[in-house]
Chains A and B, each alone.
Chain A
Amino acid sequence: MNNMSATITTTISTKAPAMNQPKISARGVQVHYGDKHALKDVSIEIHPRSVTAFIGPSGCGKSTFLRCLNRMNDTIDICRVAGHIAIDGEDIYDPKVDPVQLRAKVGMVFQKPNPFPKTIYENVAYGPRIHGLAAKKADLDDIVASALQRAGLWNEVKDRLHAPGTGLSGGQQQRLCIARAVAVSPEVILMDEPCSALDPIATAKVEELIHELRENFTIVIVTHSMQQAARVSQRTAMFHLGNLVEVDDTDKIFTNPDDQRTQDYIMGRFG
């Protein structure tokens, strides 16, 4: 596991950030979808090896901001992003940054489980293959096995690695997608409402997994569940109507928020 992440970090960044430095820092981020002003002047710092939750009512811009962090918005024609976003101090919207490489470093897990119509093994091996992370078949086997172990799926699928990934249950599929993201050894994992399509038991498993992944990855999670944000995150950011209302330690946000809107949202008064 460790030597694997070592191989990948050399290809991306040589200077390891100190613990107190933010992993991601955004300043004055503006996003327009065509005529719609979706994000207004968002500035935030995201700490390394911790979980940051984005909360807020639907359409508040939290998913949009999440998709800015790995430049997934580039795939949408009408979307324009302005402002400054840096990961480990490097501007990710700099013209010399290759968005494709960036996405290997900033993995993403989507709202609905979206395994490829391939076998479980092939789903996990997809990323390492396209990035050339394994020289030999045995290396690839190791990467797949360790990614599945980290995603807590190994024991359930080790006997049927070559069964189709789409045949798994919803919760297993979502953990497969997490394993797929983990397999390319990213530094940051973005999760866009990863549990919204799952039942409570599968949700509990994914949340447990997020806890474990925090030791090695910086995690940003968008969620509509207040309880989930409170359970899994250390820091919470509240968005409303395209604005970042406040960001602080999760404990503080849920007990004593500075902003009345946060208070109202958490109490279920709107949203």
Chain B
Amino acid sequence: MSVGIIILVLLVLSALGYFLGRRRALALAVESGRRLHSLPGYYGQTVALFIAVPAFLLLIAWLFIQPAIVGARVNGMIPDSVIPAGGARSLVISDVRRIADGLDAVLARNVLDEAALTDGRIDFSTVRDRLAGVGIALGNDVPNEVFEAAKVYRQGDKIGTIAMTIAVLALSAGFGAWSFTRIRPDMRARNISESFIKSLLIGSSTVAILTTIGIVASLVFESITFFRMYPASEFFFSTVWNPQFRGGSELGILPLLWGTLYISLVALLLAVPIGLLIAIYLSEYAGKSVRSFAKPAIEVLAGIPSIVYGLFALITVGPFLRDWFAQPLGLGNSSSSVLTAGIVMGIMIIPFVSSLSDDIINAVPQALRDGSYGLGATQSETIKQVILPAALPGIVGAILLAASRAIGETMIVVLGAGAAAKLDLNPFEAMTTVTVKIVSQLTGDTEFASPETLVAFALGLTLFVFTLGLNVLALYIVRKYREQYE
């Protein structure tokens, strides 16, 4: 049975369990003449949950573990001799998987029967052709060991799936029957479904946390591979970024980091003052009607896809800055520049600053405003000396969030600032950022074994550490000063 059908069966079973459980609870209540502890629906829910939840958990675990076990068995069947020079074992294993899937497709078309397949060696070239016929194209000549491994893999997979179906359905039926027999009027069904809900919520947050850990782990492992091939001191301290796909590259992160920070700085210099003034206007001066119109209108800026901003940078802002500032001032001839990308990015993050700061300023208690007005302060004195200091930690948090958004931005930089890695102070020069280089190192026909591609992971990790640091700092600042007006 396929996974989809198993899930469907489980859902039907639990729906059935719900009705049976509910009916039994009602019947028992009448029979014993006692009041039910919970509403009848809760008894049904308890049975349904016992049918579905453990079975689903087993299903998920099985789906993760089975390929690993079967893969490990297959792995032993492949001698080192069949791994092509310069290739990786994992690539051969994935070939095995593809062939195994292809064989299923071939069998499904009835061009080959099960017996002919298991019957030892088969004429190899026909299998290749037939696999190609179902859309599985194989590159080099596949050695017989790989083909044999694919057959074992397929067999293992098949047995595994049957075992899984049985185990999952048995578990669901077992738990369902057990919970069904346990129904009594004084059973605390409400509390049971409550604790299921609680575990569901905990489970969801665990998924988010585990995903983060997984992403970091994959970055870390690939980065470690990179640093084995390329010295870390060169990566962190070299001022030259010059990747060569024939080897002998210089992969210094400093020019990229400089470009990232420079462009983000320009963006923040534009976005922070404007965003803050917007926030002050919206929260303190604007009337209700203006506010209800202006706030969403500004937030639309955040909804524009960054590629559209990139086009705006490329077509409008870049040439404008070149023709009216860079060339007359003799500072450069490039329409891609730090300033172009920075300004456009700044416009993009204005709503981050303004909207968050507006919420934060609104959260400053009215009592503080009253206190200040009551002493004869004007509105702007109150804002400057009471409201902004009180809201400052939150505002700093908003700015840091905007900053991490700016640091991670890619499209605007590609189109606005170009792709030249350079250490330069002139804001009219083209420069580039870490994110852009991650993209350019990974695009094209590359293999994941050279420092030129693996450097992308090290770049990504560095960037991640940077933005994580900013976020932690933002959280720390917000927490430390939050209680001040409580």
Task: Decide whether A and B assemble into one complex.
Answer: yes
Let me know if B374 and A70 touch, CB within 8 A. yes
> In the complex, what residues of B have CB within 8 A of residue A110's CB?
367, 370-371, 374
| Distance A102 CA – B378 CA, assembled complex (angstroms) | 11
- B364-394 at interface with A (beta carbon < 8 Å): 365, 367-378, 381, 385-386, 389-390
A184 touching B376, Cβ below 8 Å: yes
- Is B365 a contact of A114 with CB atoms below 8 Å? yes
Q: List 13 A-B contacts (CB under 8 A).
A: A72-B370, A72-B373, A75-B370, A102-B376, A107-B374, A110-B370, A116-B372, A116-B389, A126-B377, A130-B376, A164-B484, A180-B371, A180-B375
A15 to B368 CA separation, bound complex (whole angstroms):
33
Contact with B along A123-166 (1 / 0, CB 8 A): 00011001100000000000000000000000000000000101
B324: chain A residues at CB < 8 Å are none
In the bound complex, CA of A130 to CA of B485 (Å): 22
A118 at the binding interface (Cβ < 8 Å): yes
Residue contact A75 to B373, C-beta cutoff 8 Å: yes
Per-position contact with A for B392-405: 1 when CB-CB < 8 Å, else 0? 00000000000000
Question: B residues within 8 Å of A by Cβ?
Answer: 287, 365, 367-378, 381, 385-386, 389-390, 484-486
Q: Which residues of A contact B385 (CB under 8 A)?
A: 126, 130
Q: Smallest CB-CB separation from B287: which chain A residue?
A: A77
Closest to A190 in B: B374
Q: How far is the CB of A204 from chain B (nearest CB, A)?
A: 24
CA distance A127 to B378 in the complex (A): 11
- Tell me, yes or no, whether A26 is within 8 Å of chain B by CB: no
Task: Decide: A72 near B374, CB < 8 A? Known: A114-B367, A117-B390.
Answer: yes
- Nearest chain B CB to A141's CB is how many angstroms away? 19
**Complex Cα gap A70–B369 (Å):** 15
Is A177 an interface residue when CB atoms closer than 8 A count as contact? Answer: yes
Smallest CB gap from B393: residue in A: A117
10 additional contacts (CB under 8 A) given A100-B378, A105-B376, A166-B484: A77-B287, A110-B370, A116-B386, A117-B368, A118-B389, A126-B385, A127-B375, A130-B381, A181-B374, A181-B375
Contact B373 A103 (CB under 8 A): yes
Given known A-B contacts A127-B376, A130-B375, A130-B381, A117 and B484 have beta carbons under 8 A apart: yes
Count of chain A residues with Cβ under 8 Å from any Cβ of B? 29
Which single residue of chain A is at the shortest CB-CB distance from B381? A130
In whole angstroms, what is the CA distance A130 to B378 when docked?
A: 9
Contacts of B484 in A (CB 8 A): 117, 164, 166
Q: Which residues of B contact A118 (CB under 8 A)?
A: 389
Chain A residue contacts of B376, Cβ below 8 A: 100-105, 127, 130-131, 184
- Do A108 and B389 have beta carbons less than 8 Å apart? no
Contact A104 B375 (CB under 8 A): yes
Complex alpha-carbon distance, A203 and B185, angstroms: 56
Known interface pairs A72-B370, A116-B390, A117-B390; A107-B375 also in contact (CB < 8 Å): yes
A72 to B371, CA, bound (A): 10
B-contacting residues of A (Cβ < 8 Å)? 70, 72, 75, 77, 100-105, 107-108, 110, 112, 114-118, 126-127, 130-131, 164, 166, 177, 180-181, 184
**Nearest 4 Cβ contacts at the A-B interface:** A104-B376, A108-B374, A114-B367, A117-B484
Cβ contacts under 8 Å, A127 to chain B:
375-377
Give chain A residues whose Cβ lies under 8 Å from the Cβ of B368.
114, 116-117
Interchain nearest-CB distance for A263 vs B (Å)? 34
Contacts of A112 in B (CB 8 A): 367
- A35 CB to closest chain B CB, in angstroms? 17
Residues of A within 8 A of B378 (CB): 100, 130
**Assembly CA distance A110 to B368 (angstroms):** 10
By beta carbon, the residue of chain A nearest B382 is A130
Which of A101, A102, A104, A114 lies in contact with B371, CB distance below 8 A? A114
A21 to B370, CA, bound (A): 30
| A117, B392: Cα distance in complex, Å | 11
User: A116 to chain B: which residues have CB within 8 Å?
Assistant: 368, 371-372, 386, 389-390
Return the chain B residue nearest A127 by Cβ: B375
Residue in chain A with minimal CB distance to B386: A116
Residue of B373, B374, B375, B485 with most partner-chain A CB within 10 A: B374
Bound CA span A184–B372, Å? 12
Which of B367, B369, B376, B484 has most A Cβ within 10 Å? B376
Nearest-neighbour CB distance to chain A for B383, whole angstroms, equals: 12
Chain B residues near A75 (CB, 8 Å)? 369-370, 373
Distance in Å: Cβ of A184 to nearest Cβ of chain B: 6
A130 with B377: CB separation less than 8 A: yes
The residue of chain A having its C-beta at the shortest distance from the C-beta of B385 within the complex is A126
Contact present for B377 and A100 (CB under 8 Å): yes
User: Using Cβ atoms and an 8 Å threshold, which residues of chain B touch A181?
Assistant: 374-375
Residues of B within 8 A of A166 (CB): 484-486
| Alpha-carbon distance between A221 and B284 when the two chains are bound, in angstroms | 29
Q: Nearest residue in A to B364 (C-beta to C-beta)?
A: A117
- Inter-subunit contact A117/B374 (CB<8 Å): no
A-side contacts of B367, CB under 8 Å: 110, 112, 114
* Distance between A140 CB and nearest chain B CB, rounded to angstroms: 15
CA distance A201 to B476 in the complex (A): 38
CB pair B371–A184 under 8 Å, yes or no, is: no
> B483's closest neighbor in chain A, by CB?
A166
- Report the nearest A residue to B376, measured CB to CB: A104
A131-B385 Cα distance, complex, nearest whole Å: 13
Residue with the greatest number of chain B CB neighbours at <10 A, chosen from A101, A102, A118, A130: A130
Q: Which residues of B contact A130 (CB under 8 A)?
A: 375-378, 381, 385
Q: Compute how far the CA of A110 lies from the CA of B373 in the bound complex, rounded to whole angstroms.
A: 12
Determine the distance from Cα of A222 to Cα of B378 in the docked complex, in whole angstroms: 25
Q: Which residues of B are found within 8 Å of A103, using beta-carbon distances?
A: 373-376
**What's the nearest-Cβ distance from chain A to residue B469, in Å?**
27
Minimum C-beta distance from B365 to chain A (A): 7
CB distance from A147 to the nearest CB of B (A): 12
Chain A residues with CB below 8 A from B365, complex form: 114
Cβ-closest chain A residue relative to B485: A117
Q: How far is the CA of A117 from the CA of B386 in the complex (A)?
A: 8
B375 in contact with A184 (CB, 8 Å): yes
**Which residues of chain A are near B373, meaning CB under 8 Å?**
72, 75, 103
Query: CA A110 – CA B367 in complex, angstroms?
Result: 8
**Bound-state Cα–Cα, A247 to B486, Å:** 38
Cα A103 to Cα B379 in complex, Å, equals: 13
Check A114/B370 contact, CB under 8 A, given A130-B385, A164-B484: yes
Q: Bound state CA distance, A107 and B373, in angstroms?
A: 10
A70 to B371, CA, bound (A): 12
Chain B residues in 8 Å Cβ range of A115: 371
- CB-defined contacts of B369 to chain A, threshold 8 Å: 75
Best-surrounded residue of B371, B385, B485 (most CB of chain A within 10 A): B371
Complex contacts, A101 vs chain B, CB 8 Å: 376
